[in-house]
Chain A
Amino acid sequence: NAGVTQTPKFRILKIGQSMTLQCTQDMNHNYMYWYRQDPGMGLKLIYYSVGAGITDKGEVPNGYNVSRSTTEDFPLRLELAAPSQTSVYFCASGLKDRRGGEQFFGPGTRLTVL
């Protein structure tokens, strides 16, 4: 199993450009998450999905959109990139039991908006 994969690893965008961060998992997990990690701060939840066709906002959703057409894929879309979106983005997937559930993280995408 490849686990959780993310592309690209690095990207530089100009202000106002758009892009999609790709995330794929091959563990048949229903739950998938997008987090961002800013220097000196804890990771924050952007969006999550509990299964194909179902998504919802997390703590910091503004400026982002997601879709979940399949169990495997959970892309994150930035429509009009802003410098405040410079961050490292992590996708994660997991199963959920009554305690919460372990999450498996992708390698991250380092995004710079100039």
Chain B
Amino acid sequence: KNEVEQSPQNLTAQEGEFITINCSYSVGISALHWLQQHPGGGIVSLFMLSSGKKKHGRLIATINIQEKHSSLHITASHPRDSAVYICAVNSGGGADGLTFGKGTHLIIQP
């Protein structure tokens, strides 16, 4: 069973700061997902990646398959980025339901 660990659990930063959230997993995967959960509770998929790096606006996700590690970066952070960011992995098997980390609670202060 894959274990997914995220750090930090909580992060408070000032508007404009560069943010990094880390994710590590214990067993080889087919893909890694970064999800965003807003205070209202809805979950939105930000990235799915199996190698390298992806960028969408101010968000960048990277993955190192050999080290079993991924990072989510937010450049020029803004209060609207405040949310819980969740790392999840597809480990294969069955219908490949996701295995989730506990999430990183990010607060960006104006």
Contact = CB atoms under 8 A, between A and B. Distances in A.
Asked if A pairs with B, the answer is: yes
Interface of A: 31, 33, 35, 40-45, 48-50, 56, 58-59, 88, 90, 96, 98-105, 107-108, 110
A6 B48 CA distance: 24
A107 B30 CA distance: 26
Contacts of A48: 94-95, 97
Given A50-B95, A107-B41, A99 B30 contact: yes
Given A41-B102, A42-B4, A42-B102, A100 B45 contact: no
Interface in B36-64: 41-45, 48, 50
A108 B41 contact: yes
Nearest to B49: A99
Interface of B: 4, 29-31, 33, 35, 41-45, 48, 50, 86, 88, 90, 92, 94-103
Contacts of B94: 48, 56, 58
A33 B41 contact: no
A27 B6 CA distance: 31
A66 to B, nearest CB: 12
A105 B37 CA distance: 10
A49 B96 CA distance: 10
Interface centre among A31, A44, A103 (most CB of B within 10 A): A103
Contact of A49 (B45, B48, B90, B95): B95
Contacts of A100: 29-31, 33, 48, 50, 90, 92, 96
